[in-house]
Amino acid sequence: MSKMMISHGLSCAFGGIRGKVAVLVLTLAAITSQASALIVTQTGTLYGLQQNPQSQLVTYDTATGARTVVGPLGQDFPIALTYDTTDGVMFGVSGLAGGDNLITIDTATGAGSIVGAIGYSGVSGLAYDATTGTLFGLTVVGGNQLISIDPMTGAGTLIGATGLGGSSSLTVDHDGTLYSIDTSNGNLVTIDKGTGAASSVGATGSSFVAGLAFDAATDTLYAQDLGAGELLTIDPTTGAASTVATGVSSATGLAFVPIPEPATCFLFGLSTLLLRRPRNR
Alpha carbons 42 and 174: distance in angstroms, whole number: 18
Asked if the model's pLDDT at residue 45 lies above 50, the reply is yes
pLDDT in tens, 49-68: 988 778 999 999 999 999 99
Least confident of 228-237, 253-262, 267-276: 267-276
Cβ proximity of 167 and 196 under 8 Å: no
Cβ proximity of 263 and 32 under 8 Å: yes
Domain parsing of the chain, residue ranges:
44-257
Instruction: Quickly count: other Cβ atoms within 10 Å of residue 187's Cβ.
Output: 21
Buried (b) or exposed (e) across 133-148, using 16+ Cβ within 10 A?
Answer: ebbbbbbbeeebbbbb
131: left (phi over 0), alpha (psi -120 to 50) or beta: alpha
Residue 5 binned pLDDT confidence (cut-offs 50, 70, 90):
very low
Question: Can you give the pLDDT at residue 136?
Answer: 98
pLDDT (average), residues 102-129: 94
Alpha carbons 146 and 19: distance in angstroms, whole number: 60
Least confident of 14-18, 111-115, 157-161: 14-18
pLDDT (average), residues 83-103: 88
Q: What is the model's pTM?
A: 0.79
pLDDT in tens, 184-240: 899 999 999 999 999 999 999 986 888 899 999 899 999 999 889 999 999 999 999
For 175, counting Cβ atoms within 10 Å of its Cβ (0-12 exposed, 13-18 middle, 19+ buried), the class is exposed
pLDDT (average), residues 70-82: 91
Question: Can you give the pLDDT at residue 201?
Answer: 97
Distance (Å) of CA 15 to CA 4, 122, 131:
16, 69, 47
Residues contacting 79, CB < 8 A, separation 6+? 49, 92, 93, 94, 95, 100, 123, 124, 252, 253
Instruction: Give the containing element (helix H, strand E) for 198.
Output: strand 198-203
Q: Which CATH architecture has domain 44-257?
A: 6 Propeller (2.120)
